Amino acid sequence: MLATGVLAASLPHSRDTRRVTVSGAGSQLLAQLEQELRPAGVELDSSANGDSASDTVTLLVHNGGPLPALPVDGGPQQAPLIFIDTTPSVDTAVQVMRSGAWDYIAWPAPFGRLAIALKAALRHHENNAATRQVRETLNRRVGFEALAGSSPSLLHALDVAARAASSHSPILIRGEAGTEKLTLARAIHAASGRERFLALEAPSAEELDSLASDRDLTLFIDEVADLDAAAQGALLRILEDPSVRVVVSSGVNLAQAMDARQFRRDLYFRLAAVQIELPPLRDRLQDLPELVNRFLATASERHGKSGLTVGEPLLARLRRWHWPGNVNELEILVERLTVIASGGQLSVEDLPEQMNQDASAIETLRLELPADGISLEAVERELLMRSLERFNGNQTRAARYLGLTRKTLIYRMDKFNLRATPRRTLAAAAE
């Protein structure tokens, strides 16, 4: 058994007592939990009303029978939930993790197992508190509330854009098709104080020359790499006069295009002073619930369908899709589901055939359980290893395959001391 000093060191130190909600624990189990967590300065709140309790982490104890209502993964505003199961099973573990719970612990667990999970959950929640503060600050900037999400990669991009918006510097927005580059350009314009916004695709040199010296204009050129040589020269002339604010986007690597002599070197360096990278949706799956609910609200109002909701089965399916069309693809999909919805909830059955086909292989997985019992942690470790091997150590693809966010996958890899090494050395790394 570990010494309590080791346990105390494993949790974040704070002069303030951490309050953590525990629900469903009998007096004997509650005493065990308190014995393990009290030395680390954790106070358990076992009040009957779970809604009143934790602003940090919730421990939910399951003592058999039907599963309680589980929270949908609602993003950074939701406190992490650790599910403690005194009657563990593989099926329950799968349902719990798909619901968005932070961790599943089969009880009794080795001493310190709960402390490790709680440490990670507390750190996660503290990081999310900082994330919420950044998001709230951005929402006070006109235009930036239009880009939903709180993933770190998105917030970093929006923060850079907000700080650069009031300057005269040109801005290069990089990102795949469908990542809302035009929406970000509009947000930059709204925060700049200029009056006119003009978005152009592949404008001619003559069109660009006609816009020179317009002091109230924000000019947005989508896919700037598509400009011909004459138009590139005209854009460079505009940039030499700071009257017009220039924002451009590109889904290709402009540095490579420059090296291939497909894009002017002098133009590239003028545009590359402030670069903003919008992440693809597959790299910010934690934003899916917020995005889906925002698009659902818009589509419901447009088509006169009020009261529609989104269930966890649909969100779990959406997390497995690779989203080649990014946020724009998701918006179109939610509108489709809204239009053809026949009940009060968007349905998995209404998804396009390809999305259901790609998920069927995962959802038909059946495990043969040995008669003499099985270790849930061994099963989890094996699933992680097999998934990482399948995708040659690619964490993003392995997380999508398992229906997890990349952050959750990394946490679970750390728990088992796994590393995302190439397939040929992964098994050795786990030993």
Following DSSP, what letter does each residue of 69-113 receive, concatenated?
A: P------TTSPPEEEEESS--HHHHHHHHHTT-SEEEESS--TTH
**Is residue 300 over pLDDT 90?**
yes
Same-domain pairing of 75 and 156? no
**Is residue 130 over pLDDT 70?**
no
CA geometry: angle 317, 276, 335, nearest 5 deg: 35
Written as one string, the DSSP assignment of 347-385 is: -GGGS-HHHHHHHHHHHT------TT---HHHHHHHHHH
Mean pLDDT in residue range 401-427: 68
Domain boundary among 241, 258, 278: 278
- Give the 3-state DSSP-derived string for 204-251, with helices as H, strands as E and coil as C: CHHHHHCCCCCCCEEEEEECHHHCCHHHHHHHHHHHHCCCCEEEEEEC
**Is residue 77 over pLDDT 60?**
no
* Nearest in space to 57 (alpha carbons), one of 14, 26, 103, 2: 103
Residues in the chain: 431
The predicted pLDDT at position 249 comes to 96
The predicted pLDDT at position 131 comes to 66
Same-domain pairing of 311 and 274? no
Q: Which of 1-10, 12-21, 213-222, 396-405 has the highest mean pLDDT?
A: 213-222
Same-domain pairing of 246 and 312? no
Same-domain pairing of 293 and 209? no
Mean of per-residue pLDDT scores for the chain: 81
CATH of the domain at 317: 1.10.8.60
Neighbours of 217 (CB within 10 A): 20
The predicted pLDDT at position 188 comes to 95
Domain boundary among 278, 305, 331: 278
Where do we find the tokens 């989890």? Answer: 380
* Residue 336 lies in domain: 282-363
Domain count, the chain: 4
H helix and E strand count, the chain? 18, 10
**Is residue 374 over pLDDT 70?**
no
Same-domain pairing of 417 and 387? yes
Mean pLDDT in residue range 334-349: 92
364 or 156, greater pLDDT: 156
What 3-state DSSP class applies to 18? strand
Per the CB < 8 A criterion, the answer to whether 413 and 420 are in contact is: yes
Same-domain pairing of 270 and 160? yes
Which pTM does this prediction carry? Answer: 0.63
Residue 375 CB-density burial (10 A; 0-12 exposed, 13-18 middle, 19+ buried): exposed
Tokens of residue 264, six digits: 């002017």
CA-CA distance, 280 to 117, in Å (whole number)? 29
What 3-state DSSP class applies to 252? coil
Domain boundary among 98, 130, 162: 130
CA-CA distance, 86 to 372, in Å (whole number)? 18
Same-domain pairing of 311 and 325? yes
CA-CA distance, 4 to 12, in Å (whole number)? 14
Q: Specify the range with the lowest mean pLDDT, choosing from 67-76, 80-89, 130-139, 290-299.
A: 67-76
Q: Specify the range with the lowest mean pLDDT, choosing from 10-14, 15-19, 223-227, 359-363.
A: 10-14
Same-domain pairing of 12 and 123? yes
How is the beta sheet containing 103-106 ordered, strand by strand? 42-45, 18-23, 58-62, 81-85, 103-106
**Percentage of residues in the chain having pLDDT higher than 90:** 37
Same-domain pairing of 261 and 169? yes
The predicted pLDDT at position 16 comes to 57
Binned at pLDDT 50, 70 and 90, residue 2 comes out as very low
